[in-house]
Amino acid sequence: MTTDTPVIQIKNLHKAYGALEVLKGVDLTAPRGHVISLIGSSGSGKSTLLRCCNLLEDSQQGEVIFKGEPVRWKGDGHYRCPADAKQVLRIRTNLSMVFQQFNLWAHMSILQNVMEAPLTVLGRDRAEVETAARGYLEKVGIGDKCDAYPAQLSGGQQQRAAIARALCMEPEALLFDEPTSALDPELEQEVVKVIKDLAAEGRTMVIVTHDMKLAADVSDHVVFLHKGLIEEQGTPEELFGAPKSERLRGFLSATQPA
């Protein structure tokens, strides 16, 4: 793989739940070191597209390519699924997902939460993982919360712990699914700062967000999805500064604060 090979490539992706077609032929490219934001109304397909990227959802048609390596499939249509479980695990461990709801283990300390996957999934050395985990918790600003439990943390702190957990897998890319939408505005800013810092480091990220300011500030490329298709895409300056499509103009005016 050359450095020019995108970390994630999606080609002509179709995804349906029964008769409901959610993605109707979508292309997406996440080059190394770029931040791609997916925006659009509820039901536009953006979270589904993100989940198809790391194979949490099976698609019926189209290609998912990780670092130049296509996912191998078996079966057709609604019966299509990945053919190689080891390939799926390898891709998933390289694409760390941060969910809207933090999904931390309630019975484990924050440090244990961050260490769990590198130890159990990657089989890494415990002392090395602990050093890395403490470093990532410092990085996201909650190094003093290692021994606390999730219930003792605010929502913003829990989401930052979830980001540290994703980073501890040393992934090729980070996938964020509405990382701030469950938070109060004040706590949201703590998480936005961490995401901006990660973007400034040149990490590859795909972010589904309702926060247009975040998308404008951190993205190299913004994709506006409407009813399962890409309606418009381009730089933040193009999409937010001079939207071409009527639908995007309507969406942006509806998301502006009153």
Q: What is the pLDDT of residue 186?
A: 87
What element of type H or E holds 63?
Answer: strand 61-66
For the chain, list the domains and their CATH numbers: 8-255 (3.40.50.300)
Mean pLDDT in residue range 75-80: 93
Q: What percent of the chain has pLDDT over 90?
A: 92
Q: What is the pLDDT of residue 256?
A: 75
Between 44 and 182, the more confident residue is 44
Q: What is the pLDDT of residue 1?
A: 52
Q: What is the pLDDT of residue 185?
A: 87
Mean pLDDT in residue range 250-258: 82
pLDDT tens-digit series, residues 92-146:
999 999 998 888 999 999 999 999 999 999 999 999 999 999 999 999 999 999 9
- This prediction has a pTM of 0.94
Gap between the Cα atoms of 216 and 204, Å rounded: 16
8 Å CB contact between 82 and 92:
no
Mean pLDDT in residue range 229-238: 97
8 Å CB contact between 219 and 195:
no
- Report the half-sphere exposure of 199 (CA within 13 A, side-chain side): 22
**Which tokens hold the place of 55?**
């194979």
pLDDT tens-digit series, residues 2-28:
568 999 999 999 999 999 999 999 999
8 Å CB contact between 101 and 123:
no
Gap between the Cα atoms of 201 and 188, Å rounded: 20
Mean pLDDT in residue range 87-92: 95
Average pLDDT, the chain: 94
**Confidence at 161, pLDDT banded by 50, 70, 90:** very high
Q: What is the pLDDT of residue 257?
A: 63
Mean pLDDT in residue range 156-182: 95
Beta bridge partners of residue 137, listed in sequence order:
none
pLDDT tens-digit series, residues 170-208:
999 999 999 998 889 888 999 999 999 999 999 999 999
